Structure 1
Amino acid sequence: MASKLFAPLTRERAWLLYAWCRECDDLADGQDHGGTMATVEDAQKRLATIRRLTAKALRGETTGDPAFDGLGVVAAECRIPHCFAHDLIEGFALDAADWRPQTQDDLLQYCYHVAGAVGLMMAVVMGVDPQDEATLDRACDLGLAFQLANIARDVAEDAEAGRCYLPRDWLAEQGIAPDALMAKPEGLAVLQQRLAQMAAGYEASARHGTGSLDYRSAWAVLSAAGIYGDIAREVVARGSRALKDRVITTKAAKIGWVAKSATQARGRAAKWPRDVPRQGLWTRPR
């Protein structure tokens, strides 16, 4: 819904970028357009395919796969640094290696690879100079906020698929065994709320980058931030019940954020000045 608020050219470029992200994710997880994850027996082979086709697309060569070819088009038109695309692929590599975070920094590093890097690419698609590190940091923050909300929402679903993105340090604090997550739902609920509160901090920081965007892009970003932020806020509101039923954002709530963000985007420079420091937040690797 938020993408429809972009100017037509930006919207089409965003869709091309998303198509590549979705295709990579589906290849890595054995999904069909983000559906139920399947057991993947050839994870490294799939990862090699993603790397090969992406590198080919970024060289401007035809791959035969529309999603990868679309990446080649948008990367060339917008001058997206190739390292951002490769950083995203490293997130798939972590999953392929059955990686698990030990610390909070590990978790945030993972979130950078699977979502923060997408924020960087989207910022460039919206016209941000690839050398504007301050604005790119804010774009990365929004990706981190989205991923932290995802992880908070999907704790039970991930556990069923044999995955856990909660740091082992956090699990130890709650006395939760990594291979028996659902045995202590109360402790998991505490960690879900911790994730959601972290997401709120990065969402708030991301809003300070919207002053670098044109009005329609800022409108879209602020709408997306509010819509996705509601997932984290609902996780907090539900407590342990968030483990049982997947949190979603209703259509009415989405429309509400679109309307509210139209006004916010007009006053964004005064409400969220760009020179406010990102105090206490994790910073992406340079």
Structure 2
Amino acid sequence: MARPRLLAPSRILRTTPRQVGGGREREWLVQKSKASIAKGSKSFSAASALFGRATRERVWLLYAWCRQCDDITDGQDHGGVLQEQANVEQRVKGIRVLTHRALDGQPTADLAFDAFGQVAMEARIDRQLADDVIDGFALDAKGWRPRTEADMMRYCYHVAGAVGVMMALVMGVSPDDHETLDRACDLGFAFQLNNIARDIYEDDAAGRCYLPVEWLVEEDIPPGQHMKPAYREKLVKLVKRLVDMAESHEAAARYGARALTLRQRWAVLSAANIYGAIGREVRKRGAEAWNSRVHTSAAAKARFVSKGFYQALRRAPEPEKWPRWTRSEVLVAVRMAGPIAPIPMTPLREEDDI
């Protein structure tokens, strides 16, 4: 059979040259990313200002990608009300394609993905870690919900723990420093557990629930009925359990911050103060926690940042009790839930070569 003829001789065809940041100027990507974080998250914007310039710029670049992935998935513009969720699985596939292109040094025509390609090269963020984050969006796209506490922690890893690891790499932590990366993941776990506690009402309105089914069953709360007034006191009990878990991971993260520079510790501990306060306020309000959305005022943020500075001057003590869930344990569940790895195609050596 004749071989198909190429449209052009193979000697003429050339691969697209690798262009970090999609060929865009780094300074331009940084400025656009700075505008994105200022619009999308005042808390993260305030915390990022505490970093040195190099780290601060990388934080902006990373945030731009995270924000864009979230907005594409939910049909939003820097957060807000969830929009039409049709074709969301296709949108997540698009996110993965653009992310892989950015990591391969190819232009994406989207500044947020080009920004990610830039920061990934600088901070040594690999494809597996990027896919771990995207897998969280894929779970939401499928309408997934956790059945067990382990499932909930797996989700927390995808949407926050893996981002915490990325942040540590952005701050210059070595990919081989697993102890510090574990503590960065703990901070992500703490943030997300507090978010789940705060956003129960909004998630329910959007048809989502991140409380494990097993937890609801333990309290005799029928699935999908947890926001009904009849179950409010039982829900308060579950949320206390959630925030207690968050505090455990927060304590581990504070201990791990000792490995960072003073400015980095200041930023991390300030963010921990802000997000920790959200969870603790939800727990304090009890049954009235979802009558209005819990938020942190500008004045309170300033106090937490100031407090974070003094905390950064001292090394946090080792937690009396470490969190139940570790990054390595959750990663086992993550990999087990993922696709089966392909069979290696490396040819076997000849017997004479052994």
In structure 1, the residue corresponding to 2:151 is in which secondary structure? helix
Aligned equivalent of 2:97, options 30, 52, 55: 52
Aligned equivalent of 1:221, options 262, 268, 273: 268
The structural deviation recorded for 1:97 is 1.0
Show the counterpart of 2:324: 280
The structural deviation recorded for 1:278 is 3.6
Larger relative contact order (Cα-Cα within 8 Å, sequence gap ≥ 6): 1
Show the counterpart of 1:198: 245
The structural deviation recorded for 1:114 is 0.5
Distance change (3 Å), C-alpha of 1:279 and 1:143: closer
Aligned equivalent of 1:241, options 285, 288, 302: 288
The structural deviation recorded for 1:238 is 0.2
In structure 2, the residue corresponding to 1:182 is in which secondary structure? coil
Q: Would the aligned equivalents of 2:51 and 2:264 in 1 still touch at CA under 8 Å?
A: yes
The structural deviation recorded for 1:39 is 2.6
Q: Would the aligned equivalents of 1:189 and 1:243 in 2 still touch at CA under 8 Å?
A: no
The residue correspondences of 1:97-246 to structure 2 (distance < 5 A) are 97-183=142-228, 184-246=231-293
With the length of structure 1 as denominator, give the TM-score of the two structures: 0.95
In structure 1, the residue corresponding to 2:172 is in which secondary structure? coil
Show the counterpart of 2:18: none
State how far apart, in whole Å, the 1-side matches of 2:172 and 2:123 are. 8
State how far apart, in whole Å, the 2-side matches of 1:282 and 1:10 are. 26
Show the counterpart of 2:348: none
The structural deviation recorded for 1:279 is 5.2
The structural deviation recorded for 1:276 is 8.1
Percent identity of paired positions between Structure 1 and Structure 2: 54
List alignment gaps of at least 5 residues for structure 1.
Answer: none
185-194 vs 150-159, which deviates more?
185-194
Show the counterpart of 2:58: 13
With the length of structure 2 as denominator, give the TM-score of the two structures: 0.77
Aligned equivalent of 1:65, options 93, 110, 118: 110
Show the counterpart of 2:313: 266
Q: Would the aligned equivalents of 1:108 and 1:282 in 2 still touch at CA under 8 Å?
A: no
List alignment gaps of at least 5 residues for structure 2.
Answer: 1-45, 333-354
Structure (1/2) with the larger helix percentage: 1
Q: Deviations over 1:148-195 (max 9, x none)?
A: 000000001100110000000111112212222222222222212211
State how far apart, in whole Å, the 1-side matches of 2:262 and 2:320 are. 20
Distance change (3 Å), C-alpha of 1:70 and 1:276: farther
Q: Deviations over 1:186-243 (max 9, x none)?
A: 2222212211111111111101111111111110000000111000110111001112
Distance change (3 Å), C-alpha of 1:258 and 1:186: same
Residues matched between the structures, number:
283
State how far apart, in whole Å, the 1-side matches of 2:323 and 2:292 are. 34
Show the counterpart of 1:35: 80
Distance change (3 Å), C-alpha of 1:276 and 1:212: farther
Q: Would the aligned equivalents of 1:208 and 1:276 in 2 still touch at CA under 8 Å?
A: no
State how far apart, in whole Å, the 2-side matches of 1:59 and 1:208 are. 36
Distance change (3 Å), C-alpha of 1:72 and 1:189: same
Q: Deviations over 1:258-278 (max 9, x none)?
A: 11111111212xx335x9884
Moved over 3 A (4+): 275-279
Q: Would the aligned equivalents of 2:255 and 2:317 in 1 still touch at CA under 8 Å?
A: yes
The structural deviation recorded for 1:135 is 0.6
Q: Would the aligned equivalents of 2:248 and 2:322 in 1 still touch at CA under 8 Å?
A: no
Q: Would the aligned equivalents of 1:152 and 1:235 in 2 still touch at CA under 8 Å?
A: yes
Show the counterpart of 1:90: 135
Q: Would the aligned equivalents of 2:168 and 2:184 in 1 still touch at CA under 8 Å?
A: yes
